[in-house]
Amino acid sequence: MDYENNSWIWEGVNYYPCVFGGLMVTAALLGLSTSYFGGIGVPYLSLPCSWSNLGIFHQKKSGKRRIRVYMDGCFDLMHYGHANALRQAKALGDELVVGLVSDEEIVANKGPPVLSMEERLALVSGLKWVDEVITDAPYAITEQFLNRLFHEYKIDYVIHGDDPCLLPDGTDAYAAAKKAGRYKQIKRTEGVSSTDIVGRILSSLRDQKNCEDHNGTEVKPQEENQSKASHIAQFLPTSRRIVQFSNGKGPGPNARIVYIDGAFDLFHAGHVEILKRARELGDFLLVGIHSDETVSEHRGNHYPIMHLHERSLSVLACRYVDEVIIGSPWEITNDMITTFNISVVVHGTVAEKTLNCELDPYEVPKSMGIFHLLESPKDITTATVAQRIMANHEAYVVISLTQLFFSRFCFLNI
């Protein structure tokens, strides 16, 4: 530690050596009596004031420099695996900078992205662990770009998953960062990938088309079960993972609690923007996430694409969300409003189409005068994301197969 010089101390030592010597010996004995002998009955003696209060030593305040880490990716079809990777990256430093590959770079290297740069930016910047986003990140990290990261953005470490990431020429995409000693690795999230999600979407849309082709005839139970089994997620939820994504904080005693519910399937930019607006209406945002059974009942057997706990993690990762109800009811009741001390219930103007519209799920909050209809900032929905993929079906099948082949070699550039 660095300490400021006090000349009067040394003058005192010269003129009154016995006094200062006695003080030092006394301090040493007191230190021994309270620490070393504290467990064997030597009484604790307290000084009337500390050495710092006497002004003998003034410790200089040295501000610790914050560690900045960098992680890049396309982050197309953003899912909880991406969020968990960024959560792990943030844990390796103090500030997380995310490199977002441009649309042009993705088209040149992989084919057209599902989501635009604007939509991907909204998703990435909406994550609670992200501090800064670079929107002109290259698809392949070059030594020139690394130098830019180190000097312009003051990056200390480049982070990537534990899968090797190889460029088309077979070289390691992160070789320069490793050579510089500025590379750190995180564990890949098993059970989900963008390739898997594209497969689920295509399977779901095929199921929907098959149902329409039956022209109202009854679908056999075994066919329906086979259809659902074809896109079952491999994700196994744990309480630890939910805690990792959660804020861990409840509302204050006089907090204005805002409630919004939905399926939040294929978590997209529209979800982020409506959650942001909902949060601005109060102090605490509580989000109800409908169960798989509820979503299927109101939207059809081919939904949801993502299952309940997957959707819950995606919503929890959003910086505007304070708490979620996993498997919330379709209809908001008086008892529910009282239990969670809900001040206002909101719903966006843009929503997915429902099959059963006989009952208004917001009838109770409307009668209580606490319902608020929010203008949705974006018109994107789960259905429109799925339709974008189906519109170029053959191209996405080729891309999916290619990604499936290379997914073992490059994790976050999915």
Full pLDDT tens readout for the chain, 414 residues? 443 344 434 444 444 444 344 444 344 433 433 333 333 333 333 333 333 333 433 344 446 889 999 999 999 889 999 999 999 999 999 999 999 999 998 888 777 888 999 999 999 999 999 999 999 898 888 889 999 999 999 999 999 998 777 777 788 888 888 888 999 999 988 778 887 888 888 887 776 655 555 455 544 444 444 444 445 556 777 899 999 999 889 999 999 999 999 999 999 999 999 999 999 999 999 999 999 999 999 999 889 999 999 999 999 999 999 999 999 999 999 999 999 999 999 999 998 888 877 789 999 999 999 999 999 999 999 999 988 887 766 665 565 566 556 554 554 444
DSSP secondary structure, 116-156, as one string: -HHHHHHHHHTBTT--EEEEEE-SS--HHHHHHHHHTS---
Tokens read off for 95 = 């500030």
pLDDT reported for residue 211? 54
The pLDDT, as a whole number, for residue 34 is 36
Per-residue confidence (pLDDT) for residue 402, from 0 to 100: 63
pLDDT for the residue numbered 148: 95
pLDDT of residue 192: 80
Q: In terms of DSSP H, where are the helices of 230-268?
A: 239-245
Structural domains of the chain in order of their starting residue, each with its CATH number: 66-210+384-413 (3.40.50.620), 249-380 (3.40.50.620)
Q: Which residues contact 28 (CB under 8 A, 6 or more apart)?
A: none
What is the model's pLDDT at position 350? 94
